[in-house]
Structure 1
Amino acid sequence: MAEDRRGQRPSRGGSGSGRGGSSGGGRGSSSSRGGQRSDSRGGARGDSRGDSRSGAGRSGDTRGKAAGRGPSGGKPSGGKRPAGAQQRGPRGRAEDKQPRTADQAAYDGPDLPEGITGAELDRGVRAQLKGLPEKLAARVARHLAAAGVFIDEDPELAYRHALAARARASRIAVVREAAGETAYAAGHYAEALSELRAAKRMNGATDYLPIMADCHRALGNPEQAIKLAKSPSVANFSSEAKAEMTLVEAGARRDMGQLDAALRTLELAPLTSKSRAAWVVRLRYAYADTLEAAGRESDALAWFHRTHAIDSDELTDSAERAEVLERRQA
């Protein structure tokens, strides 16, 4: 698995507050949309406090990756009895249960907490599930909501819930989106990229691009990340979403050893914005971190101080980084 990006996924579509601060991407909100997660953490690959790479992804309606099951029915592909299901003998008596296969376990999914009903999802997500039979829609909704609840504290569990949703409703874009976002949160970057591509084909949305670009970075393809960062649709992003993509692009440049290009990328962003929003904090932090990497310690010190000046929520370790540089220069 590639490096851990938890808490640093790029913000989807510019919603959320965004945490972190290295030169990479940010994360958005997609699992269990509708109240479970409102803050968009964004950041960079690795720790937002020292690594200048960025991460992407996030959301409130978390979806999940398929577990090899059928498209949108309530049963595994073909309606066949899942492997490991209970069999009956000639007299109708249940025989001993066989151990569940991996496919069966993925289809069943983790146990659903009693307090999660599916009503936690926002109206738009629930609307996409209306084409399913009522009981199936309710089960999928509960798995999506559970994925949204767990995506920060236990992303692997969130991913498993999303897998269960996808196994039942793989032809619904919001489910594929949840699969991608939870896969990203859990560090399964190839799966995340595949699922988000599928969601994009289904609904034409472009707000997955920062997450997809950061997945390319995690998979060792910074050139592809830069290519996505240059997509025409980025011009129509919100300020926060543009910042997320800037962080990913700058991180990709750093991955390629192009520190000067990374600095130029960040310098085109609104580093001097009067906003104290998290995405401004992260941009400034990424710029300071890249300046230090480029050997410009005096400039880096100034920008760590500028970051700390607006980082009231202590999203970054800019104060500590500034202190280290001051001691070094003393």
Structure 2
Amino acid sequence: MPITTQSAVVPAKDAPFEIRELELREPRPHEVVVDVAAVGVCHTDIIMQQQFFPVTFPAVFGHEGSGVVRRVGDDVTKVAVGDHVVMGFASCGGCRNCLRGLPSYCQAYYEWNFAGRLPDGTTSLSDGDGEVAAHFFGQSSFSRQALCSERNVVRVDPTVDLSILGPLGCGVQTGAGAVLNSLDVEAGATIAVFGAGGVGLSAVMAAVVAGATTIIAIDVAPQRLDLATRMGATHVIDASRSDVMQQLSALVPEGLQYTLETTGRPEVLVQAVDSLMVTGVCGTVGASPMGTTAPITMNNLIFGRTIRGICEGDSVPEIFIPQLIELHRQGRFPFDAMLTSYAFEDINKACEDATSLKVVKPVLVF
């Protein structure tokens, strides 16, 4: 039978979240229903509320959920009722990139993660007025129950606190994966991370794991830079008080081997590219409004510099998320230090505090 659930609904562009009772349909073959324990609030949720990307309303967002499997559809073999899981992004599993082990570059990534409906045009959520757009990143976990494919759940150790694990599904694996998977930062390397939010701080921690010896965090919020230092950054730059390029040149005169741009701001991407050494690599993960461009100096690229677009940290979640959990267990990846808990009903306050830089990473706990 369908499940009555509470969800945080965005009724229109720029409208605040409203807690509503919705109906969640039964899982179909290869689908599971998860009782959500906690869900991270990601910058992507907020920009979708602002309609940076095309989206239909009313809609339920949320894409960093963790919880316990409540129901399973036919033919589900990956998880069972009672399993603890983290929910990540969705992918088709059958295209060329999925088959190559690159699910974050699924040929149908948009349809599975941003369309508000499944590829067959259906949605799992509804209310008395009709259908509600769902399946955001394959889960729409701003809800007490979430329906997703067995492909985008990762079974985790049931002894680990579920209330901290949700952000591993997107922001944390994006930042950490950008360093460890995409850029493949080596021991002794130099790296600057532009933006010390949840993604950027995850990158800082991953750079420590990788053995980088110069790790520079750049932001405009002093409290975030303090946290970056505690997490292993060797240097920090307050972009609101100093010239970033001068500071970087003084710290690494020959230029950086690696940079990571997490803000989605064109002028910051330009800085991240211009601060590279010859043959240096800039990774970019920040989301911008559709059509945003950046004025890159083309001659900088001729001399072996690379700009590398990165989605979800090139992660295969079933492999990478358990690795991050084990690093956390060993005390080598203290991502929980950047989390702040909120009650589900305080979702608008959580988004406001994240946007104003009062907190780094809000997590809604049920």
Q: Tell me the TM-score normalized by structure 1.
A: 0.26
| Structure 1 or 2: more helix by fraction | 1
Which of the pair has the greater relative contact order for Cα pairs under 8 Å at 6+ separation? Answer: 1
Q: Tell me the TM-score normalized by structure 2.
A: 0.25
